[in-house]
Every structure is written in structure tokens, then in C-alpha cells.
Amino acid sequence: MRHVPDPAVVARIAETLRGARRVLFITGAGISADSGLPTYRGIGGLYNNQLTEEQFPIETALSGAMLKARPAITWKYLHQIEQTCRGAQFNDAHAIIAQWQERFEVCVLTQNIDGFHRAAGSRNLIEIHGDIHDLLCTRCDYQTSVPDYAALTLPPSCPRCQAPVRPRVVLFGEALPRDALTHLYRELDLGFDLVFSIGTTSVFPYIAGPVVQASQAGIPTVEINPTDTSVTAFVDYKLAAGAAASLRAIREAYGQPAF
């Protein structure tokens, strides 16, 4: 059963949006669900409470330590995740956020590694966990981007030095990229008039933090997620519905025409 966005809440969000200049969108796997991608911890999660075939938690299989010790295991599940993205495209949720750049100063902080926000045209974009299509050598300066992993021999080796190649993504146990963090802190210092949390369980402090801090500062906050999360108690407006349906409803209530 699909959840329908509450029209009364949608109307209040649209009214708040009319008074905003700078808007932050924090997004997780749920925003790509309408593109056919599974979430990883939410409803229909790809790895909900399951061990891998090797009897590891998925967080262990997709860790920096495992990539060093047994790269074939990490690449097996990176390949599995990439396959879920293959052939998929950004959806209305990504497109509406990009469209709103023409009316607001928009910043997008995404955990997603599918590249859909960039493909949709978002410019002020912080891909805090990287992009699964960007590959780099673990030893030399070789880098490349691939449309998918179909042509890769797994685990791949560098064509220049034969060292292991990895995707430009943050694996479990690894530090966040310094450039992305600097970008995020710079945007937060500038401040926002409205903060959206969309399709994320907000389990990481750097994802929940901007929502909680905005709420404590009296800045309006919105959560779009079919389930309750760690930030639900802090937000002013909650839409227990899908991302694309919710953003389409907000756009309509705001008075902006469809594409």
C-alpha cells in the first residue's frame, strides 16, 4: 500500500517554501526508490538483517578493511549494488530538486552513490559517500569513470601498475572525504531557511546533525520518509510517503507547473 502525502501538511510545507531563500536537501536511498533502486535499511531493504553468503554483515563486507584483506568479497557486493543501479535513471524527486535551483539557493547533501542528483542537474551537490561509477587506483594516480561494471574483471586491477582498483566511495570504517566535509561546513555556516530530510534513516551524525541543529535554531524542517527515523521527533513537518509523490505534491501546492 502506497502512502499518500497529507494535503494539509503539504500545504504548510509549500507556504514555508514560499518564504525561503536557501534550502538544504539531505537525501538517502529512499529518494532513488522510485527509480527502481532498493533501499538498504528501509522498507524492502536489500540487506535488512541479513548476512552475506560468506556470513558477514553487509557492513563488514563493504568495509575498507575487507577491501584490503579480501578485495574479491567487497567487489562482489559493490558489483551487486551497481547492478541495482544499472539502466536506472533519476526520477521526479531528483528532477524537482534540480528544478528548484531556478527559484532558490539549493544545496544537496546526499549519501547516495548512484549519481542521480548529478544526472538530474543538481549543481551545488555534496556527494558525501562518493559515486560508484568513479574508479581509482590504490597505488598510483590512475582514475577513470565507467557507465557500469559490466566490462570489469572483478576484482579489477590498475592497467598501469596492476595494483587493486577501488570505487570512489566511502566504505564502512573509512573517513569521509575532506573536500566534501569542507563544502558541507561552508554551506552550513552560510545557513538555511528550510531543511529537508528525504528518504534517509539518518543513522549517521553528519546526516542527522544538520536537521537537529536547524530544529534547535528555529529553522523549519521537513522529513519525507514512509517510516519514522532518528530525526522524526525533531522535524516540524513529516510526510510519511514516498519522495517523488511528496515533492510533486509540494511543487503543485507551491504553484509551480510540472515539467
Determine, yes or no, domain membership for 146.
yes
195 and 238 in a common domain: yes
Strand order in the sheet with 22-27: 125-127, 105-110, 22-27, 194-198, 221-224, 237-239
d(CA 27, CA 127): 10
Q: How far apart are CA 165 and CA 98, in angstroms?
A: 32
**Choosing from 94, 117, 129, 183, which is the catalytic residue?**
129
Any idea which of 30-39, 162-171, 223-232 has the lowest mean pLDDT? 30-39
Residue 53 belongs to domain spanning: 38-87+131-169
CA atoms within 13 A on the CB side of 196: 29
Query: What does residue 114 show for φ and ψ, rounded to 5 degrees?
Result: -85, -15
Domain-located, residue 143: yes
Provide the number of structural domains found in the chain. 2
Do residues 246 and 138 share a domain? no
Q: Are residues 156 and 217 in the same domain?
A: no
Same-domain check for residues 23 and 135:
no
CA angle 237, 238, 243 (to 5 degrees): 120
Q: How confident is the model at residue 7 (pLDDT cuts 50, 70, 90)?
A: very high
Last residue in a domain, options 144, 169, 194: 169
- Annotation says 129 is catalytic: yes
Statement to judge: residues 151 and 190 lie in one domain: no
Domain boundary among 116, 150, 169: 169
The answer to whether position 61 is within a domain reads yes
pTM assigned to the model: 0.90
214: DSSP letter: H
pLDDT digits (tens, 9 = 90+) for 39-83: 554 434 455 557 888 888 888 999 999 999 999 999 998 998 888
CATH of the domain at 80: 3.30.1600.10
Looking at the structure, tell me whether residues 101 and 144 fall in a common domain.
Answer: no
In a domain, 259, yes or no: no
Asked whether the predicted pLDDT for residue 207 surpasses 90, the reply is: yes
Q: Residue 142 falls within a domain, yes or no?
A: yes
DSSP 73-137: HHHHHHHHHHHHHTT----HHHHHHHHGGGTSEEEEEE---S-HHHHHT--SEEETTEEEEEEEE
Mean pLDDT value across the chain: 92
The pLDDT tens digits of the residues spanning 118-157 come to: 999 999 999 999 999 999 999 999 999 999 999 999 999 9
